[in-house]
Copies of this chain bind each other. A is one copy, B any other.
C-alpha cells in the first residue's frame, strides 16, 4: 500500500462520534456537522430519540428546507391502546405516562436507525439523544455496540448525542467530546431562546 493509498484510506474512515456531558451543545454540534455534510453534498439523516418540549423547530424547519431526512421518535408508532398520537405537540418519551409505550417507541426507533445505518445510503447519520434509551435499558448497549461493529458501513459517520453515554459506547467511539456546563442562563432566570436552543 502506497503512502497515498494509506492517506486516502484514512481520509475515508467513517467515525463514531459521541457528544456527551451536562452542558449545552451536544445536539447543536451534531447540527453543525449536518450543515457541513450538506455543504459537501453528502447524504445525511437525523433520527431523534426524544421529542423535546420545545420540539427543535429551528432545526426541523431548516432540515425540511434543505431536503434533509429527519425522523422523530414515534413518528411511525401505532399505539396498541386507542388512538395514535401524532403532531408536533407530541410528548417527550420521558414524559409519557406509559413506560411500556415509551420503551416500545424507543426500540422501534432503534430498529429504524438500524435499517438506515445498514442501508449504506448515507454518509452521516445522527442518533440524537440515543443515550437516553441506552441508559434506561430499553435498548441494550452491548448489543448495540456489537451490532454497529458488524453492520456500520466503514465510510459512514455516526454521531450519537446525549448525557450519560455508557462506557461501552465511549470505548467504541473514535471521537468523544464532553460538553461541560460552565454557566447557563437558566441559572439566571433567562428562558430558552429561539435559534439558540431550539
Judged by a CB distance under 8 angstroms, whether A85 is at the interface is no
In the assembled complex, the Cα of A175 lies from the Cα of B185 at a distance in Å of 6
Contacts of A180 in B (CB 8 A): 21, 177-180
Contacts of A31 in B (CB 8 A): 31-32, 35-36
Judged by a CB distance under 8 angstroms, whether A137 is at the interface is no
| Distance of A59 from chain B, by nearest CB (Å) | 5
Judged by a CB distance under 8 angstroms, whether A183 is at the interface is yes
Judged by a CB distance under 8 angstroms, whether A37 is at the interface is yes
Judged by a CB distance under 8 angstroms, whether A62 is at the interface is yes
In the assembled complex, the Cα of A63 lies from the Cα of B71 at a distance in Å of 24
Tell me the chain A residues, 19-57 only, with Cβ under 8 Å from chain B. Answer: 19-21, 23-25, 27-40, 42, 44, 57
| Distance of A152 from chain B, by nearest CB (Å) | 15
- Please give the residue numbers on chain A whose beta carbons come within 8 Å of chain B beta carbons, in ascending order: 7, 10-11, 13-15, 17, 19-21, 23-25, 27-40, 42, 44, 57-63, 65-66, 123-124, 157, 170, 173-185, 188-191, 193-196, 198
* 6 contacts across the A-B interface (CB closer than 8 A): A35-B62, A37-B196, A39-B57, A157-B195, A174-B183, A177-B180
